[in-house]
């Protein structure tokens, strides 16, 4: 806490709530995340380094660290305090992941900004074939979405993409007092170990976006948005051994795998 406040004072920064700037102040949690991330000798991507609470630990252990930060004030802190870290000042949603680490594999560690957790997670999952693991701190409800089962209202593209690509485990529950300023919500740390054989996540993402586009519609109706006639969509479902009237939220991971292989 003292260090965070000292840095905020030194750089005359007021945390920006709109950018999800709740800084991790529990050193034991930061140490645990770095330990669970198993990044010794690896390339590590951090999204939103903020004042560097995780970054400095990652830099100490990893082979190389690239940190992507949207806020120029935070970017300036990292450049000054942690010159060994490669800082990219931009919105991570605009980052060209293919261009990072000369195409080498990498791991991810991040305390994700609450307002943009889902798009960031989906973007990372789309290139899970290049990622060894992701250790993410996120809002409790957002973390829960990785563990949902088919049939639940929160089961969706994030759940399916994460489960097909990774072995997922919860590492820790965090409370608002682990952050400064304190958020209004509880948080969790999850670790996603990416499966080596993952492929076609971009295609799966496209399929999932269509399949879940209107949750109350049947899968056939949603698939018709992929330029398919009703008859074609029904045939695809039949070949994938899925009922004609099924909704996307009732289809399990294997069902989506069958659908993907029939479609492509």
Q: Shortest approach of ligand SAM to residue 7 CB, angstroms?
A: 10
Instruction: State whether the Cα torsion 239-244-246-247 is positive or negative.
Output: positive
Q: Shortest approach of ligand SAM to residue 146 CB, angstroms?
A: 18
In the block, residue with structure tokens 């965090």? 174
Q: Shortest approach of ligand SAM to residue 27 CB, angstroms?
A: 11
Closer residue to ligand SAM in complex, CB, 23/106: 23
Residue nearest to ligand SAM according to CB distances in the complex: 48
In the block, residue with structure tokens 């007021």? 14
Up-side HSE of residue 143: CA atoms within 13 Å toward CB?
25
Contacting positions for ligand SAM (CB under 6 A) = 19-24, 47-50, 53-54, 68-71, 74, 91-93, 111, 113, 116
- The answer for residues whose C-beta is within 8 angstroms of residue 161's C-beta and 6 or more apart is 122, 125, 126, 201, 204, 205, 208
Closer residue to ligand SAM in complex, CB, 26/235: 26
Closer residue to ligand SAM in complex, CB, 22/165: 22
| CB-based contact 218:245 (threshold 8 Å) | yes
Q: Shortest approach of ligand SAM to residue 84 CB, angstroms?
A: 17
Closer residue to ligand SAM in complex, CB, 53/236: 53
| SS3 category, 133 | strand
């Amino acid at each position: 806490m003292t260090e965070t406040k000292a840095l905020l004072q030194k750089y005359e920064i007021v945390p920006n709530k709109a950018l999800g700037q709740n800084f991790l102040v529990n050193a034991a949690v930061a140490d645990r995340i770095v330990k669970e991330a198993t990044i010794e000798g690896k390339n590590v991507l951090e999204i939103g380094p903020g004042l560097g609470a995780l970054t400095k630990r990652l830099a100490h252990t990893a082979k190389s660290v690239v940190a992507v930060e949207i806020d120029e004030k935070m970017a300036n802190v990292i450049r000054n305090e942690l010159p060994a870290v490669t800082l990219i000042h931009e919105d991570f949603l605009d980052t060209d992941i293919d261009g990072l680490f000369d195409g080498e594999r990498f791991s991810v560690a991040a305390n994700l900004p609450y307002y943009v957790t889902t798009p960031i997670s989906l973007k990372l999952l789309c290139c899970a074939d290049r990622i060894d693991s992701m250790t993410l701190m996120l809002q409790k409800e957002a973390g829960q979405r990785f563990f949902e089962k088919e049939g639940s209202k929160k089961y969706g593209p994030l759940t399916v993409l994460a489960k097909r690509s990774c072995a997922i485990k919860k590492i820790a529950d965090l409370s608002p007092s682990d952050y400064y300023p304190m958020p209004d919500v509880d948080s969790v740390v999850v670790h996603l170990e990416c499966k080596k054989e993952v492929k076609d996540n971009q295609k799966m993402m496209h399929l999932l976006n269509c399949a879940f586009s209107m949750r109350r519609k049947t899968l056939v109706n949603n698939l018709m948005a992929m330029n398919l006639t009703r008859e074609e969509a029904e045939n695809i479902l039949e070949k994938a051994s899925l009922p004609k009237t099924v909704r996307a939220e009732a289809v399990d991971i294997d069902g989506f795998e069958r659908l993907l292989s029939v479609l492509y």
